[in-house]
């Protein structure tokens, strides 16, 4: 998995299995499927805070969908975080926001003891996947097609921009189903 060897992944999973924080994040993700996050991000004091709230909501919802379909064990797989990170990037979230959200919300990352360990998880577990040239090409193609669709579907520039700036994975048809 990226720059994480098998022993490291096994150690992460073992640590997360014994962590109340990890169990809490899994429950939080399951509950996110029924929550409305719109009020929270409307109350944000800055665009950056709004993006963090939006990205957190989308991360938790997607993790909840994955858990619902594949079971709770899937939340403790670094590949799941990498998959979600790619989808969040496709939705237009910046890498720094994605890394910040995953290091604070992932059931694996939250079990880690300190910021340095969480940063190492992001660098070794996520960056190799999300910064892969094939992934970048996929993201570019997705965003190009999204822009083309916006111009084909809508005449009004405001509607075009709303379509292009959509960030919700389910609305973009990239959510796990």
Token pair for 89 = 């990037």
Number of H helices, E strands in the chain: 10, 0
| Mean pLDDT for all residues in the chain | 91
**pLDDT at residue 16 tops 70:** yes
Q: Residue 35's pLDDT is what? A: 85
Q: How far apart are CA 92 and CA 86, in angstroms?
A: 10
The secondary structure of residue 125, as a DSSP letter, is I
Predicted TM-score of the model (pTM): 0.91
pLDDT band at 53 (very low <50, low <70, confident <90, very high): very high
Q: How far apart are CA 86 and CA 58, in angstroms?
A: 12
**Mean pLDDT confidence for 41-70:** 91
Q: Residue 45's pLDDT is what? A: 81
Q: Where are the domains of the chain?
A: 6-131
**Mean pLDDT confidence for 101-108:** 96
Q: Is residue 132 within 8 Å of residue 82, measured between CB atoms?
A: no
Q: Is residue 56 within 8 Å of residue 91, measured between CB atoms?
A: no
């Amino acid at each position: 998995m990226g720059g994480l060897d098998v022993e490291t992944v096994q150690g992460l999973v073992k640590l997360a299995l014994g962590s109340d924080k990890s169990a809490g994040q899994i429950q939080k993700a399951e509950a996110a499927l029924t929550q409305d996050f719109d009020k929270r991000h409307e109350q944000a004091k800055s665009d950056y805070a709004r993006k963090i709230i939006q990205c957190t909501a989308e991360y938790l919802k997607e993790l909840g969908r994955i858990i619902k379909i594949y079971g709770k064990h899937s939340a403790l797989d670094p590949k799941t975080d990498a998959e979600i990170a790619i989808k969040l990037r496709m939705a237009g979230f910046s890498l720094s926001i994605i890394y910040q959200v995953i290091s604070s919300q992932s059931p694996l990352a939250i079990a880690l003891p300190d910021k340095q360990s969480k940063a190492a998880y992001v660098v070794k577990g996520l960056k190799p996947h999300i910064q892969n040239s094939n992934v970048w090409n996929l993201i570019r193609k997705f965003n190009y097609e999204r822009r083309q669709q916006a111009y084909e579907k809508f005449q009004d520039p405001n509607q075009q921009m709303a379509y292009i700036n959509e960030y919700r994975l389910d609305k973009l048809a990239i959510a796990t189903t």
